Amino acid sequence: MKQLTKAEEDIMQVLWLLKMANVKQIIDELPEPKPAYNTVSTIVRILESKGFVDYKKKGKGHIYFPLLKKQDYSNQSINKLVDNYFQGSFKSMVSFFVKKNDVNLNDLESVLKEIEKDTKK
């Protein structure tokens, strides 16, 4: 799977949130300073060429929608991060973040409870 640039990921975040949107609706959801219409339109067409989005014709315009689920892209991105920076060890990655972010024992226990709850579903 191809990686997204920061600008592409910003657009995808909006599309994942809205499910379907035209360029103007995408721009409305982006933070200030708002990018130019042509800039967003170009990025959306790049995303289309990469296979991340598709569109439906609506009148004279297009309504864009994601082809890839956010969770699927997140999983792929995390796996790449673990492989590239932590030699494929999830344990090393978690240990790194716990140490670097000074996570206390209560927070760590809370995370473990969330994981246990999610695995029982």
**15-62 confidence digits (pLDDT tens):** 999 999 999 999 999 999 999 999 999 999 999 999 999 999 999 999
Q: Write the pLDDT tens digit of every residue in 66-76.
A: 999 999 999 99
CA-only gyration radius of the chain, Å: 18
- Compute the average pLDDT of residues 95-117: 87
Of 67, 32, 27, 61, nearest to 43 (Cα)? Answer: 27
Q: What is the pTM of this model?
A: 0.77
Look up residue 74 and give its amino acid.
S
What is the DSSP annotation of 49-104? HTTSEEEEEETTEEEEEESS-HHHHHHHHHHHHHHHHSTT-HHHHHHHHHHHTT--
- Length, in residues, of the chain: 121
- The predicted structure's pLDDT at residue 88: 92
Domain 6-66, second-level architecture: Orthogonal Bundle (1.10)
